[in-house]
Amino acid sequence: MKGSDSLVERNQNIDLLRFATAGSVDDGKSTLIGRLLYDSKSIFEDQLDLIKTFSKTHRNQDIDYSLVTDGLKSEREQGITIDVAYRFFSTPKRRFIITDTPGHEQYTRNMATGASNASLALILIDARNGVVTQTKRHSFISSLLGIRNFVVAVNKMDLVDYSEEVFENIVSEYNAFSDKLSDESIYYIPISALKGDNVIERSANMPWFQGSPLLDYLENVNISGGRNLTDFRFPVQYVNWGGDDFRGYCGTISSGVIHKGEKVRVLPSGKTSEISKIVTYDGDLDYAFAPMAVTLCLEDDIDISRGDMIAKVDDLPVIAGSLEANVVWMDSAPMEIGKDYLIKHTTSTVKGNFSEVLHEFDPEDISMKPSEFLRLNEIGKVKVELKTPIFADIYSENKITGSFIVIDPHTNQTAAAGMITKYNQVSPDKACKAVKTKVIRYPGDKREEAQANYDRLSMQGTHCIYVDDDLLLETLCKGIPVDSEQYSDTIEDLCKIVTKSGVSVVLCSDHLSS
Amino acid sequence: MTIKEESYRLSNLKTLEAESISIIREVAAEFENPVMLYSVGKDSSVMAHLAIKAFYPKKVPFPLLHIDTGYKFPEMYAFRDYYTKMHNLDLKVHRNEEALKKGISPLSVGTVKCCAELKTKALLDALKEGGYDAAFGGARRDEEKSRAKERIYSFRDKHGQWNPKDQKPELWNLFNSKIDPGESIRVFPLSNWTELDIWTYIYHEKIEIVPLYFAKKRPVIEKYGQLIPVYTDEHEEETKEVMCRFRTLGCHYCTGAVRSEADTLPKIIEEMMVARHSERITRIIDQDQDSSMEQKKKEGYF
């Protein structure tokens, strides 16, 4: 009893490491994963029996480890991996989810898929071939998607006589390339997945290598970054209301921490309120943090719908009307400049189009080259114009509020994945399509209130101007008596001109025409 | 890890829970007419529990659908009715009555045909009749090889079929929910759970499951190396009392029990940790064709 209780506890409390594997065709990824699963006893006997039978009849060998991950029939027939496969194994120290991604160039999009949810990239290099285009492409995609922990495993060392020189040459070759990536931490390791060298056990064939074997490294590596605990962002996913008193906003905390009683602001309305309750099935909470899925209740009755964003009053995402983003094109139909696509960002889906490709990346050396548009598997920096603003952050600061997918509205295909690098606040002509302009009038003695409202509106991204009698008398109405018709007409004309351009007016005066 | 990260740490199970709840809510928000497939098994219990959590304190806003082959264990029917009533869940049951009238069973037509009629066809008919545009299933990627490659949102054409070579890329937690009329998706909120996660979660959350999962002395006959429970006097000579339990639940013709002393959750978990057979081995249907699951999935089966 005691023994199994602690087993239960252990599975409850160990952490989870998601890593993506990458490399070129025949680098031996599937064999390596097969071996990790086999040696950590994660393959069940009946599955193993099937694999052994197949290995003997079709491959003429005792056990072909790659069959463990090559799940689909067509893959087994062709002997290649064609889609992302998710594999699970655990050791007493960690639970692992491996995203095994294919090495063919035409499946680069799957590499990006795998990397988007991984915190470590395991990059395989065939010792006989050294660093090849796919190695660079996959490393670049992993880096672009924000992975900062790399393991570079030089495989098939048995086929190069376990030569230290071969290994060192590949290390310097990769280092020269990776200098151009972001600031990754890289662990180099010489292995033979087939023979088991440096996978679980230290290799007796490579006494010159002093580092830990692969599994030992994966169990102990400290994964840094990834989670933003500073900026609270809560995209409203589902409004839970059934006609009675309860109204809750369901969602998953994208980043940051929220406490009961804290002041929040809701975008796009800009209205503020306080968190009255953080509701979960297991009881109300005093605080919650990313990536918890909770239901928030507010003190005030505010009109909130799916796609709105709840953040703290003093720490807001940008209301972005246009973006610059790194985009991985994933559709066989190439990007069309100016065409309306659907942009899904957090819980909101808006229309948007690509106005320009700023440059395309050449993954060979991460240089930039000009490009008119992007095709399948091409990566570039683009400008995106949005028809409705989104509430965004920069990807490097916030993976969830900084990422989006692009959907082709005609084919429903997921055409691209984007990572925001820069944004522009909503421009007035955009705002005037999305937001109805208004003139908010205050009596002359409510100047403070009027100014506060103006601040609030500006902060939420509403384009507006502030006008009061002092300002008018200094400028437009210089020398005009405040009680005159001319004075009140000037104010009205001003409001007309300004609202026409999509800008609201906060007006504080007692001298208005009735 | 900084002190801040340490104090806001979410355990493996709570991380999986949050991810699943998020998926369930997203589907409820984006689809017009979702339904949750409910097989009465332990994974279904977990999935239903997550749905209850997702919409607490309100009722789960979509129905549960049981594709009933008519050959489930009596304990399963009793549990299904008890569980759904207790949690105020809207239960719908669909059977291929026509096939049942014709007397289709594994004994009369074999397991492949029987499954095709009573499971796959019944499921496709039920989804069509209900006009459901999204159906949750409790499948996990660790269960079986072809499932390891399935997306969380799995697209089905107008005939409910899956094309493994044309799956949409799925990045971050952004799911593409755009489909044309007549098309539908299958959603797998438990994709990233393992069998061990399911059991430890059931234990921690005190989720009720069908008593057949717990070891007990049961009358069985031994067939194809499996223990088949006996509910009638038919095979009296061969019947023996064996301490056994079920690792998965299906139809009584095709689901075998395993010898086990595990009559509590911790004992089941302990048994699991040393288990050398994957759970589906007690399902006869997986072994009747090479790549049988992949084939069934292409045809529309979950």
Q: Between residues 430 and 449 of chain A, which touch chain B (CB distance below 8 Å)?
A: none
Task: With H, G, I as helix, E, B as strand and everything else as coil, classify residue B15.
Answer: helix
Please list, in sequence order, all residues whose beta carbon lies within 8 angstroms of the beta carbon of residue A457, skipping any fewer than 6 positions away. A270, A464, A504, A506
Span A286-297, pLDDT tens digits:
999 999 999 999
Task: With H, G, I as helix, E, B as strand and everything else as coil, classify residue A165.
Answer: helix
- Measured in degrees and rounded to the nearest 5, phi and psi for residue A255 equal -160, 160
Which of B2, B149, B194 best probes binding to A when mutated, by most A CB atoms within 10 angstroms?
B149
Question: Does residue A261 belong to the interface with chain B, where contact is any CB pair within 8 Å?
Answer: no
Q: How far is A106 from chain B (nearest CA, A)?
A: 12
Closest CA to B150 of A72, A169, A443: A72
Q: Between residues 6 and 25 of chain B, which touch chain A (CB distance below 8 Å)?
A: 8-15, 17-19, 21-22, 25
Distance CA B192, CA A406 (A): 25
Q: Where are the beta strands (DSSP E) in B76-142?
A: 91-94, 134-136
- Partner-chain residue, chosen from A44, A84, A246, that has the shortest CB–CB distance to B276: A44
Inter-residue contact A83 to B164 (CB < 8 Å)? yes
Inter-residue contact B266 to B231 (CB < 8 Å)? no
Closest CA to A374 of A351, A386, A350, A356: A356
**Letter for the amino acid at B224?**
Y
Per the listing, tokens 């007493």 go with A92
CB count within 10 Å of CB A304 equals 21
Distance CA B97, CA A408 (A): 41
R_g of chain A computed on alpha carbons: 29
Which of A304, A405, A408, A420 best probes binding to B when mutated, by most B CB atoms within 10 angstroms?
A405
Span B97-154, pLDDT tens digits:
999 999 888 888 888 889 889 999 999 999 989 999 999 999 998 876 667 777 899 8
Report for A83-87, B14-18, B245-249: range of highest mean pLDDT = B14-18
Inter-residue contact A321 to A432 (CB < 8 Å)? no
Closest CA to A385 of A335, A416, A433, A426: A426
pLDDT, position A79: 47
Distance CA A478, CA A475 (A): 5
Q: Which residues sit opposite A114 in a β-bridge?
A: none
Distance CA A294, CA A292 (A): 6
For B194, name the nearest residue in chain A, comparing CA atoms only. A88
For every residue of A52-112, DSSP letters joined together read: HHHIIIIISSS--GGGGT--SHHHHHHTS--S-EEEEEE-SSEEEEEEE---SGGGHHHHH
For A225, name the nearest residue in chain B, comparing CA atoms only. B1
Q: How far is B56 from chain A (nearest CA, A)?
A: 6
Inter-residue contact B166 to B116 (CB < 8 Å)? no
Enumerate the H helices of A101-200 as residue ranges: 108-116, 133-144, 164-178
This complex has an ipTM of: 0.88
Copy the structure tokens of residue A163. Answer: 């030569």
pLDDT, position A426: 76
Q: Do B204 and A12 touch (CB under 8 A)?
A: yes
User: What percent of chain A shows pLDDT beyond 90?
Assistant: 49
Q: How far is A90 from chain B (nearest CA, A)?
A: 10
Q: How deeply is A128 buried, as exposed, middle or buried, from its count of CB atoms within 10 A (0-12, 13-18, 19+)?
A: exposed
Q: Between residues 322 and 341 of chain A, which touch chain B (CB distance below 8 Å)?
A: 330
**Which residues in chain B have their CB less than 8 angstroms from residue A84's CB?**
149
pLDDT, position A432: 41
Between strands A15-23 and A120-126, the pairing is parallel
pLDDT, position A225: 58
pLDDT tens across the length of chain A (514 residues)? 444 556 666 666 677 889 998 766 667 777 888 888 877 766 666 666 777 777 777 767 767 776 666 554 555 555 444 567 788 888 878 888 888 876 565 567 778 888 898 999 999 999 999 998 888 888 888 999 999 899 999 999 999 999 999 999 999 999 999 888 877 789 999 999 988 899 988 999 999 999 999 999 999 998 755 678 889 999 999 999 876 788 999 999 999 999 999 999 999 888 899 999 999 999 999 999 999 999 999 999 888 999 999 999 888 899 999 999 999 999 989 999 999 999 999 999 999 999 999 999 987 778 899 999 999 889 999 999 999 999 999 998 899 999 999 999 999 999 999 999 998 877 544 444 445 678 888 988 889 889 888 887 776 667 789 999 999 999 989 889 988 989 999 999 999 888 877 788 999 998 876 5
Q: Do B149 and A13 touch (CB under 8 A)?
A: no
Please list, in sequence order, all residues whose beta carbon lies within 8 angstroms of the beta carbon of residue A282, skipping any fewer than 6 positions away. B53
Distance CA A303, CA A300 (A): 10
Please list, in sequence order, all residues whose beta carbon lies within 8 angstroms of the beta carbon of residue B210, skipping any fewer than 6 positions away. B40, B41, B42, B45, B73, B75, B76, B79, B249
- Measured in degrees and rounded to the nearest 5, phi and psi for residue B298 equal -60, -35
**Which residues in chain A have their CB less than 8 angstroms from residue B203's CB?**
8
Q: How far is A46 from chain B (nearest CA, A)?
A: 6
Inter-residue contact A140 to A174 (CB < 8 Å)? no
**Which residues in chain A have their CB less than 8 angstroms from residue B180's CB?**
412
For every residue of A279-347, DSSP letters joined together read: E-TT--BSEEETT-EEEEEESS-----TT-EEEETTB--EEEEEEEEEEEE--SSPP-TT--EEEEETT
Span A499-508, pLDDT tens digits:
877 788 999 9
- Partner-chain residue, chosen from A85, A88, A289, that has the shortest CB–CB distance to B8: A289
Question: Does residue B161 belong to the interface with chain A, where contact is any CB pair within 8 Å?
Answer: no
Q: Which residues sit opposite A414 in a β-bridge?
A: A407
Q: Do A44 and B277 touch (CB under 8 A)?
A: yes
CA angle A229, A234, A238 (to 5 degrees): 145
Distance CA A453, CA A174 (A): 56
- Four-CA torsion B233, B236, B242, B247, nearest 10 degrees: -50
pLDDT, position B283: 52
Distances (CA, A) of B89 to B35, B40, B54: 12, 13, 13
Distance CA A451, CA A161 (A): 77
Copy the structure tokens of residue A437. Answer: 């302009």
Q: How far is B157 from chain A (nearest CA, A)?
A: 13
Task: With H, G, I as helix, E, B as strand and everything else as coil, classify residue A350.
Answer: strand
Question: Does residue A69 belong to the interface with chain B, where contact is any CB pair within 8 Å?
Answer: yes
Copy the structure tokens of residue A299. Answer: 């003190």
Between strands B134-136 and B240-245, the pairing is unpaired
For every residue of A476-507, DSSP letters joined together read: TTTT--TTSHHHHHHHHHHHHHHHHTT-EEEE
Q: Between residues 230 and 269 of chain B, which touch chain A (CB distance below 8 Å)?
A: 266-267, 269
The pTM for the full model equals 0.82
CB count within 10 Å of CB A27 equals 26
Q: Where are the beta strands (DSSP E) in chain B?
A: 34-37, 64-67, 91-94, 134-136, 153-156, 184-187, 216-223, 226-229, 240-245, 258-259
Task: With H, G, I as helix, E, B as strand and everything else as coil, classify residue B35.
Answer: strand
Q: How deeply is A29 buried, as exposed, middle or buried, from its count of CB atoms within 10 A (0-12, 13-18, 19+)?
A: buried
